[in-house]
Amino acid sequence: MQLIMKYVYSFKEGNANMRELLGGKGANLAEMTNIGLPVPQGFTITTEACTKYYEDGREINQEIQDQINEYIVKMEEVTGKKFGDIENPLLVSVRSGARASMPGMMDTILNLGLNEEVVEVLAKKSNNERWAWDCYRRFIQMYSDVVMEVGKKYFEELIDQMKNKKGVTQDIELDANDLKELARQFKEEYKSKIGTDFPTDPKEQLMGAIKAVFRSWDNPRANVYRRDNDIPYSWGTAVNVQSMAFGNMGDDCGTGVAFTRDPATGEKGLFGEFLTNAQGEDVVAGVRTPMKIAEMAEKFPEAFEDFKNVCKTLEEHYRDMQDMEFTVEHGKLYMLQTRNGKRTAQAALKIACDLVDEGMRTEEEAVLMIEPRNLDTLLHPQFDQEALKATEPIGRGLGASPGAACGKVVFSAEDAEAWAAKKEKVILVRLETSPEDITGMKAAQGILTVRGGMTSHAAVVARGMGECCVSGCGEIVMDEANKKFTLKDKEYHEGDIISIDGTTGNIYEGEIPTVDAVIAGEFGRVMEWADKFRTLGVRTNADTPRDTKKAIELGAEGIGLCRTEHMFFDPERVFNLRKMIIAETVEDREKYLNNLIPYQKGDFKAMYKELKGLPMTVRYLDPPLHEFIPKTEPEMAELAESMGTTVEHVKEVCDSLHEFNPMMGHRGCRLAVTYPEIAKMQTRALIEAAIEVNEEDGLSIEPEIMIPLVGEVKELKFVKDVVVETAELIKKERNSTIKYHIGTMIEIPRAALTAGEIAKEAEFFSFGTNDLTQMTFGFSRDDAGKFLPSYYEHKIYEQDPFAKLDQIGVGKLVKMAVEDGKKTRPDIHLGICGEHGGDPSSVEFCNSIGLTYVSCSPFRVPIARLAAAQAAIKAGIEKKN
């Protein structure tokens, strides 16, 4: 007999640990029910049902439908109400809820179960006609938008027309008759768009709504959000069906959202917003400006007291800051949602430290609570305090998401994207944002909205993205149609530069200078904990003393990749390099290369001085030579003259360097195989630099020399011999006993496949996962951006493999190379120096396969340190279990 799958759970049957199956919202509704909080009852249809829906070609199969119907009956028994009943009708909400919260990304429908007959019953029984018709018109609006995809704007237009006709500005000023008329118009609109009558059977409405929520998992904005937040498509969403609590029944009703701590600063204390006589999204949609949660104490003293107790219970239960939704119906409190609240990086650090100090969390747990990626915002420049003091703000909104942003004003998400694509920095200025704006919000430096509070869509999403946001600057008079706004009698047009401060909410004209961020206070404390727990080393990729200094400040333990080609672009240097390229004999090439030694040696010395004894891996010249050749006629003429040759000859040589596929052309160690004198020059510069700095500063630097783009051990051996011969010669000349190490970058699949052989000659491997990804996928990393979007759309790849290490393919090569390398040379030093070195999930992978260190760009060093600590802590927990 086949086991029957259970696709539906009542809130009483679930709990917080069932998040994978019930989604975050469902699992927490169940948990709240079980700890005795007032939750309108209902049931959850599992994420597995969603997966099945997609497997079955976007259909809800009979088995699942049967289980849903069974639970509807149960729900009717629990609530004593019935779907479509004319005595005591049941109205429900149908809510999406994925494993990881995706605020505003998917759809919810409220007041389902209404039809012409039921609405009359409600109106009569409640003696509240306005409420009944308000519910009905909202339902038609949401159902049409979500289920039938009619489009919100048609309905909003009808509401606006109605308000104009009545000479009012707010929805709540419309009376029962107006709302009744609106409901009629809405249904007409529905019929004209869809071609059939609006459905009247509540069960039919319900199946339609459930289907729509499943379908919304695949909507474009949800797909973008998932990619940004590393949420796999395969997870699916659960659907919650819950009986309604009504916040729109009059002035002794209302709805609110609140956090147990300030999501922007982390400060302990109730924080949130409340709106009387309102429902659902009204608070966050910014239609009316809500009141502060504290004001609720006066209007609803009992419900407020209850709510404060609920907050305390929930924080202690979850041991984390909670983000809650609730409704008050005739003075009684109902809890509709709780989750660990999204927070800014700053708030995350403060909350983690406070929870440790309050004895609620261990240091390990605190380290695990912080999203490494979010640290990014703290590492970006902040406004220069002096400059701020000297500048008068032109206006002020709410500091909804901290950060400093300057840019040109744009008025739509599309423009933000288009301008950003042209490398313009923009500030997106909107009346309010909606989920459709997400890609535009991402493209902007910062977001400024006219309406909406601290929990508005713009605020929540910006905080999630770590982007600067100032919301609710009501003084702004918008004129979107003409792409301008007015603030304090001055007009600002598209393209004008403004600066916004997401901490204070201040808005400035022009560009305010910024200063670098520092690690101090709670940030410093958490990073100390992280360093205590991690076992993986963290180095940086840096080519200049300035970057090196910054990276060390941010906690780097050395340089994992110093690219030497960047050191040659200075005019004088490139001129010598060009002569070397044009030269025809070894002697001439050596002569010109020797001119470069003092420069290169100077660079290395400066780097070593900054490193104060920390290690540095130096990669030898990597790019094809044609990247250095002169592009213009005068440049060629100058070069020809200084070498005593003709422009024609210079041109000829330059043309001969043309390659059809430069990425796979004459580059990397291939340069040193054809021109060993390049490797000689670099060795002399490096070894002499190290010897001198050791003497001058009393250090014992051991240079790490990295030969790039090796695919065959003999190729490495050939270059290595050149390096060793030169190095030994210098040691003799200088009477030095300096030690040095020679290793290679593993970035060609063949190198990974023959790593066991290569390790015979290489003392260390550094995985160059940028090239390794490029060559394993066969994608050029400069061109992949053009076609990857189609791959995302068709779910062939969900992530950019250049940003997040492809653990399945590329990772397999890395893992294999690690194992084979260790077999040959058990003490081999192993690192990664691709962009992936700063990506949290890739860092976790590096930890799990036993790398010695990761190396990433300076600003990602703290992210890597935290991610490495989390990986170690998680691995420890797994071992114990």
Binding site for ligand ADP (CB under 6 A): 40, 93, 95, 103-104, 108, 110, 242, 244-245, 280-281, 325, 327, 336-337
Residue 457 annotated in active site: yes
To ligand ADP, the closest distance from the beta carbon of 327 in angstroms equals 5
557, interface contact from ligand ADP, Mg ion, none, CB < 5-8 Å by kind: none
771, interface contact from ligand ADP, Mg ion, none, CB < 5-8 Å by kind: Mg ion
Tokens of 846: 């590096």
To Mg ion, the closest distance from the beta carbon of 622 in angstroms equals 6
Position 419, amino acid? W
Interface pick for Mg ion out of 432, 771, 835, 839 (rule CB under 5 A): 771
Taking the C-alpha atoms of residue 273 and residue 162, their distance in angstroms, rounded to an integer, is 28
Q: Give, in degrees to the nearest 5, the angle at Cα 721 between 715 and 725.
A: 160
Residue reference for tokens 């029910």: 33
The interface region with Mg ion, picked from 14-22, 226-234, 411-419, 741-749 by CB under 5 A, is: 741-749
Taking the C-alpha atoms of residue 37 and residue 765, their distance in angstroms, rounded to an integer, is 56
**Cβ neighbours, 10 Å, residue 525:** 17
- Render the burial of 670-708: b for 16+ CB within 10 Å, e for the rest: bbbeebbbbbbbbbbbbbbbbbbbbeeeebebebbbbbb
442, interface contact from Mg ion, ligand ADP, none, CB < 5-8 Å by kind: none
Contact 114, 94 (CB under 8 A): no
Binding of Mg ion by 747 (CB under 5 A):
yes
Number of residues engaging Mg ion in binding (CB under 5 A): 4
Taking the C-alpha atoms of residue 292 and residue 502, their distance in angstroms, rounded to an integer, is 19
Query: Which entry of 135, 353, 406, 457 is annotated as an active-site residue?
Result: 457
To ligand ADP, the closest distance from the beta carbon of 319 in angstroms equals 23
To ligand ADP, the closest distance from the beta carbon of 333 in angstroms equals 12
- Render the burial of 366-377: b for 16+ CB within 10 Å, e for the rest: bbbbbbbbbbbb
Residue nearest to Mg ion (CB): 771
871, interface contact from ligand ADP, Mg ion, none, CB < 5-8 Å by kind: none
Residue 311 annotated in active site: no
Beta-carbon-side half-sphere exposure of residue 750 (alpha carbons within 13 Å): 8
Q: Name the residue nearer to Mg ion (CB basis): 437 or 747.
A: 747
Q: Name the residue nearer to ligand ADP (CB basis): 59 or 281.
A: 281
Q: Name the residue nearer to ligand ADP (CB basis): 25 or 825.
A: 25
To Mg ion, the closest distance from the beta carbon of 3 in angstroms equals 34
Nearest to 273, CA basis, from 168, 163, 400:
400
Q: Give the per-residue SS3 of 491-544.
A: EEECCCEEEEECCCCEEEECCCCEECCCCCHHHHHHHHHHHHHCCCEEEEECCC
30, interface contact from ligand ADP, Mg ion, none, CB < 5-8 Å by kind: none
What is the contact mask toward Mg ion in residues 278 to 317, using x (rule: CB under 5 A)? Answer: ----------------------------------------
Residue reference for tokens 């670098």: 516
What is the contact mask toward Mg ion in residues 60 to 99, using x (rule: CB under 5 A)? Answer: ----------------------------------------
Query: Which entry of 50, 833, 846, 856 is annotated as an active-site residue?
Result: 833
To ligand ADP, the closest distance from the beta carbon of 313 in angstroms equals 19
Q: Name the residue nearer to Mg ion (CB basis): 677 or 747.
A: 747
Q: Name the residue nearer to ligand ADP (CB basis): 39 or 759.
A: 39
564, interface contact from ligand ADP, Mg ion, none, CB < 5-8 Å by kind: none
**Cβ neighbours, 10 Å, residue 334:** 21
Residue reference for tokens 């333990």: 557
DSSP string, 754-779: THHHHTTT-SEEEE-HHHHHHHHHT-
CA distances from 250 to 112, 246, 285 (A): 20, 9, 20
281, interface contact from ligand ADP, Mg ion, none, CB < 5-8 Å by kind: ligand ADP
Contact 796, 782 (CB under 8 A): no
Binding of Mg ion by 834 (CB under 5 A):
no
Query: Which spans in 278-373 are helix H?
Result: 282-285, 296-299, 301-318, 345-357, 363-368
Q: Name the residue nearer to ligand ADP (CB basis): 104 or 811.
A: 104
Q: Name the residue nearer to ligand ADP (CB basis): 131 or 419.
A: 131
Q: Name the residue nearer to ligand ADP (CB basis): 46 or 108.
A: 108
Binding of Mg ion by 768 (CB under 5 A):
yes
Q: Where does this chain bind Mg ion (CB under 5 A)? A: 337, 747, 768, 771
Residues with catalytic roles: 457, 833
